[in-house]
Structure 1
Amino acid sequence: MEFLIITGLSGSGKSQAMKAMEDIGYYCMDNLPPQLLPKFAELCYQSKSNIQKVAVVVDIRGGIFFDDLFESLNTLKIQGFKYRILFLDTADSELVKRYKELRRPHPLSPTGRIIDGISKERELFREVKRRADYIIDTTNLTIGMLKREIETIFLEGKESKKLTILVVSFGFKHGILLDADLVFDVRFLPNPYYIPELKNFTGNDDNVRDYVLKWEQTKIFIEKLKDMLDFLIPYYIKEGKTQLVIGIGCTGGVHRSVSIANVIYKELKEKGNRIILRHRDLK
């Protein structure tokens, strides 16, 4: 039997993850107090039903019972019940945004600031996240993307990637990419904006892409950038980073940055990374 524990920060998408698990054949239980995990696992393993895949959601809604989670996990191990943990993480800024959109208080800070509750919860989950078998950062994932990621891991049996890479093109004249971990300025490349027949096209169009990529300095830059990312990404994963935002900037965010971002996205995707492409300033 497959026994999966779904947990993570409040607002990170656990309910959507549970729905996705149900869609691929898991029997799901929401908001199970951690203290009841061993008993529930025992019932599932001893059941004569045809249930072969079980997922339970355990989170901060369990209140004081949450303190019993580690004891329950140790009990499961002692009793010989095999389990895996799926941890959903999200950036603080996105969590605050989600809470404000729903106009709901954080369960750990019902009358105070949302960010204070998030900080308390993140500290409580620190060890749980470290023990997790799978980590999905939902900061920039749509519901469809999250469902697809779950299908990839639990239906297709592919290896889980603990790092989500977001490649974003942008224009410096519209402001720098504030949440970027790495920013690369491609304004040194010839600008298609000044070519009349290219001005009204974008880096998603073949004529602009071909123009940007034909220069020797472009080819050298791309190769050096690919080498740098190949070097850095394993170390980011080793340090426990769950999201890496790579910004590619030009003047307006329409021609050069879009072309280069598309190339880097394709390269990283072909290497099996969990990756998202976004063109911030492309209307």
Structure 2
Amino acid sequence: MEILVITGMSGAGKSQALNALEDLGYFCMDNLPPALIPKFAEIASATDYISKVAVVVDVRSGRFFDDLYSSLEKLKEMEINYKIFFLDADEEKIIRRYKEKRRPHPLNESIVKGYNLEVDLLSDIKKKSDYIINTTNYSIKDLKKSIREILEVKEKNALKISINSFGFKNGILLDADMVFDVRFLPNPYYLDDLRKLDGTNEETKEYVMKWDVTKDFIDKSIDMLDFLIPNYLKEGKSILVVGYGCTGGFHRSVVIANEIGKRLKVLGHNVVISHRDKDIYE
């Protein structure tokens, strides 16, 4: 179990940091009272699917903020590793952000007074933090990049790639960043012995993959994706959704999505494969 405790100045970007960590596979909780951190860690560690946790604790917790140090001591007793990230920004920048969002400061109706109160309140935890990130001149993309660098995330795994098959007759894949139409490939539907065997079946796969046009298409797709992925990463993109569509989403698109996904995994990318319409046969 690994826990990242995100704290710092209001308006410094803690919510954006939490979003970035969620994209990196962390189970995230915002505005958690510090006294509940050990209990939350206990529940998370009892599961078999949560290994990385990030929580935001800040002045919104009011008097509960004093419980942070005792909670961190309990984590040590539980032999749970934790790191403290402190997000900071210059006073002028924080005031400007609050004015743009037209939100009150959590400590005072006056943003300036609230800022000064918060500086005093957080001075001790700032000194004890493992990492301090000043977001004064950061865009959201810059903040994500900084967090990735601190956590030493391998670049290829920083982008989650979702490869999906679907059938055009059931509607296009609405959340896709890119859609490829594979209806130009020979269709197993017209072969009686393959008609009811979906694209995960070995016989169907062999039929679709035996054509030169299929092999060329897959090779060109991999070349293009391998070129695009690092450029998407530079722009701070965290998930890339790619759709492969055939008529029904039952034969060709399933074979192609599986093959593309398998090859991207071999190249070291973080890939998930899904088939929207595979279980629909008409």
In the alignment, the residues of structure 2 paired with residue 26 and residue 280 of structure 1 have an alpha-carbon distance, to the nearest angstrom, of 28
CA distance in 1, matches of 2:257, 2:167: 12
TM value normalised by structure 1: 0.59
**1:165 aligned counterpart, secondary structure:** strand
Question: Which structure's CA Rg is the greater one?
Answer: 2
Q: Where does 1:1-283 land on structure 2 (aligned, <5 Å)? A: 4-5=4-5, 8=18, 14-15=28-29, 19-20=43-44, 32-33=57-58, 40=68, 44=72, 51=79, 53-54=81-82, 64=106, 79=127, 81-83=129-131, 126=140, 129-130=143-144, 133-134=147-148, 159=154, 161-283=157-279
CA distance in 1, matches of 2:76, 2:195: 68
Q: Deviations over 1:165-212 (max 9, x none)?
A: 110000111111111101111111100000111101011000000000
Contact kept in structure 2, 1:192 and 1:212, CA below 8 Å? yes
For the 8 Å contact 1:3–1:41, the answer to whether it is kept is no
Return structure 1 stretches of 4+ with deviation > 2 angstroms: 5-9, 15-32, 34-45, 47-52, 54-58, 74-81, 125-135, 157-162
8 Å Cα contact 1:26/1:54 also seen in 2: no
Residues 184 and 247, structure 1, Cα contact 8 Å, conserved in 2 = yes
TM norm structure 2: 0.59
Question: Gaps spanning 5+ residues in structure 1: where?
Answer: 86-124, 136-153
Aligned length: 214
Shift of 1:264: 0.7
Aligned-pair Cα RMSD in Å: 4.6
Q: 1:21 to 1:83 in 2, by over 3 A?
A: farther
Unaligned runs of 5+ in 2: 7-14, 31-39, 87-104, 108-113, 134-138
Residues 169 and 248 in structure 1, CA contact (< 8 A), matched pair in contact too: yes
* Seq. identity, %: 38
Aligned pair in 2 of structure 1 residues 30, 219: CA closer, same or farther (>3 Å)? closer
Amino acid at match of 2:249: G
Q: Distance in 1 between matches of 2:83 and 2:185?
A: 51
Question: Is contact 2:3-2:54 (8 Å) kept?
Answer: no
Contact 1:4 1:83 in 2 (8 A): no
